[in-house]
A and B are shown apart, each in its own frame.
Chain A
Amino acid sequence: DTAVSQTPKYLVTQMGNDKSIKCEQNLGHDTMYWYKQDSKKFLKIMFSYNNKELIINETVPNRFSPKSPDKAHLNLHINSLELGDSAVYFCASSQDEGSANTGELFFGEGSRLTVL
């Protein structure tokens, strides 16, 4: 069984559309994340949820809205897509919220979003 699964794997859409990416983890972790990896391969954290509560919300446009129906799921909804939103989006989970010896993050396979 895949520990962290996200769908869809590929998403091609037009500017201005609204789209969602779903993420599920079966590890029993309390914390889930969304990361964006741009064309230069830098990973940037977007959001972090602990037990369905938002704990980190980095500076991302409010067109991006995460939703966590339960602690095993963290979905990402994007409104009014722009060209610059094209990237690979990774979902991840961890047991702990974050500490000096921050534990292992488990990543999904990524969802490649292309905005035309």
Chain B
Amino acid sequence: LAKTTQPISMDSYEGQEVNITCSHNNIATNDYITWYQQFPSQGPRFIIQGYKTKVTNEVASLFIPADRKSSTLSLPRVSLSDTAVYYCLGLDSNYQLIWGAGTKLIIKP
């Protein structure tokens, strides 16, 4: 059971790079780490997924060190519209995503 731990909340300013770190000490050998974003009154939206090292897409980058016990979601040059809850997700024994409280990110002007 890959339980994850991430900060409850973070603040940043427009134009800054934001890094949200998640710890997952019990991640299984084959499991990937997945990040989702949820805006108020909307369903979660997939951001990025990775196994190790670095993954980058048009939205974010994901850094996973060699021991895979943590991962860092990096959002480049955030804007006000990036204010949302960000979930770092592991998997249960049925390969279903385990949802925690997430990190509430507030971007200020």
- Chain A residues in the interface with B (C-beta under 8 A): 4, 40-45, 48, 56, 90, 92, 97-102, 104-110
What are 16 A-B pairs at a CB distance below 8 A? A4-B43, A40-B101, A42-B100, A44-B99, A56-B96, A90-B43, A92-B43, A100-B31, A101-B51, A102-B91, A102-B96, A104-B46, A105-B44, A106-B46, A110-B42, A110-B43
Chain B residues with CB under 8 Å of A4's CB are 43
Residue contact B96 to A107, C-beta cutoff 8 Å: no
Selected contact of A45 from candidates B32, B51, B96, B101, CB within 8 Å: B96
Please tell me if the beta carbons of A100 and B99 are within 8 angstroms of each other in the complex.
no
The 4 closest A-B CB pairs, nearest first, are A107-B43, A98-B95, A43-B99, A100-B30
- Tell me the total A-B contact number using a CB cutoff of 8 A: 61
Q: How many residues of B contact A (CB 8 A)?
A: 25
- Point out the residues of chain A lying under 8 angstroms from B31, CB to CB: 100-101
Interface centre among A97, A98, A108, A109 (most CB of B within 10 A): A98
Q: Choose from A41, A44, A48, A100 the contact partner of B91 (Cβ within 8 Å).
A: A100
- Chain B residues with CB under 8 Å of chain A are 28, 30-32, 34, 36, 41-46, 49, 51, 85, 87, 91, 94-97, 99-102
> Which B residues are in CB contact (< 8 Å) with A98?
91, 94-96
State in angstroms the CA–CA spacing of A110 and B85 once bound together. Answer: 16
A41 touches B102 (CB 8 A): yes
Tell me the minimal C-beta distance from A98 to chain B in angstroms. Answer: 4
Minimal beta-carbon separation of A8 from chain B (angstroms): 14
In the assembled complex, how far is the CB of residue A76 from the closest CB belonging to chain B, in whole angstroms? 15
B105 to chain A, nearest CB (A): 14
